[in-house]
Amino acid sequence: MGRKKQLPILRGVTITDIGSEGNAIAKVDDMVLFVPGMVPGDVVDVRVTKKKKRYMEGVALEVITPSPGRAEPPCRHFGVCGGCRWQHLPYDRQLFYKAKQVTDNLTRIGHINIGQVDPILGSEKIYGYRNKLEFTFSKRRWMTREEIGTEAVVTEPALGFHIPGIFDKVLDIKECLLMSEPADTIRNEVRKYALEKRLPFYDFREHSGFLRNMIVRKSSTGEVMVVLVTTDALPGERDLLLGFLTERFPEITSLYSIINTKRNDSISDLQPVHMAGSMFITEVMDGLRFRVGPKSFYQTNSGQAVRLYGIVKEFAQLTGRENVYDLYTGTGTIACYLASQAAGVTGIEYIEEAVADARVNAVENGISNAFFIAGDIKDTLTDELFLRRGKPDVIITDPPRAGMHADVVNAMLRSGADRIVYVSCNPATQARDIGILSAVYDVARITPVDMFPHTFHVENVALLVKNARTG
């Protein structure tokens, strides 16, 4: 076998743009070079890690000349934790590149004509905006920059976030700027307690240990929920830890325990056990109240969610006479938000627990014209449903990142709806779906919305109206 070809080091490369997935871009000999973690204007030395016919990938070895467009990241974990990769970009530039990502996907890649393009709606809070964080326990923590390259042997456990792309390594987090207190204090006190009591943190390779995950939620009303996820190894110690939490943090208004003996961290198929306080916490949105349980889906940026739903309502143009379908309704937040201005709303969601929450939310808010169906949307959104519930005048759709199944898109085409409001967290799959819908619908207007500052993720709300060819 021949030796693997040595990839080059490129000197003095100027970063010129930011592309998909938030990676910085340079041009070298008419080839595109992707370099993560850089800013347009940076001049860097780059080690090429992958070379294809049309592009290269690399890592920056040294920033020779920093861009004047750089910002100083306030987080001590920046560059190692993968959660806020754009802290080194000023917020106005973050918004610029997010809006560009939306328009590029729709127009340049999807070849979709857009009527009105609104300015991107930035988040009023760029730190402390999250209402939910999930922390992971790990037997072995990720090494710091100072430790990497030394002969240090790290055996300490960690309570923090997974390192991107590495399933069994967790960065020990001392401070996270994404959520307000008491999230940091709860996490740090639980770590301290666990170390003092010598409680075994989870080993991802051996699938052994006791402590697995901890979810902290804080609602817009100030209520706090903690969900502790463990194995079934030490039930007595679990009860003592839960007791410690209730005594140390009286501000915890809802406390749950979940036993997970599986090889993955998903809790969607597990039963939470209520341990103390209320069964749920409450989110308030524009006068509506929503119950949030341990497995409930709720928009992670509460403040920005209100503004996002305001755009949805504006695009829907409801007069009180319309039959509205809300696809991927989750816990029914959009359905409940629109119900007062519609004749009726039919929400469809494949997660049964979410549908149960949606029905409760409707009752709690005195909404009698919202009907919720649990089932796979591709199997549920059918001609039979149109006969039973009436054809929609307006469709709201808010699918996951993968976008919509082809059967769902085709059912929407058959529905005869006058308007579709498409809320997306992935402009690429939104462009793909709209490309199919363009047989009947034109994009009249879009409004990008930033729900997650310091990340490359962006939401986009698109208004689709029947084109002149179909009436």
Active site members: 425
- Taking every pair of C-alpha atoms in the chain, what is the biggest distance, in angstroms? 73
Q: How far apart, in whole angstroms, are the C-alpha atoms of residue 134 and residue 268?
A: 14
Tokens of 271: 């039963």
Position 17, amino acid = D
- Exposed, middle or buried: residue 364 (CB in 10 Å: 0-12, 13-18, 19+)? middle
The secondary element (H helix, E strand) that includes residue 453 is: none
Give φ, ψ of 378 to 5 degrees: -65, -25
| Cα angle for residues 309, 312, 315 (degrees, 5° grid) | 155
- Best CA proximity match to 76, nearest among 9, 150, 173, 178: 173
Taking CA atoms, 340 is separated from 20, 34, 285, 397, in Å, by 39, 48, 14, 18
- Are the C-beta atoms of 447 and 423 separated by less than 8 Å? no
The separation between the first and the last C-alpha atoms of the chain, rounded to the nearest angstrom, is 65
Residues 6+ positions from 412 with CB-CB distance below 8 Å: 381, 395, 397, 420, 437
- Are the C-beta atoms of 205 and 168 separated by less than 8 Å? yes
| Cα angle for residues 302, 462, 91 (degrees, 5° grid) | 50
Distance of CA 181 to the CA centre of its chain: 21
DSSP string, 356-369: HHHHHHHHHTT--S
Residues 6+ positions from 459 with CB-CB distance below 8 Å: 308, 423, 424, 425, 448, 449, 450, 451
Alpha helix positions (H), 90-219: 91-103, 183-196
Residues 6+ positions from 284 with CB-CB distance below 8 Å: 219, 220, 221, 290
Taking CA atoms, 37 is separated from 19, 23, 46, 108, 455, in Å, by 12, 7, 12, 25, 11
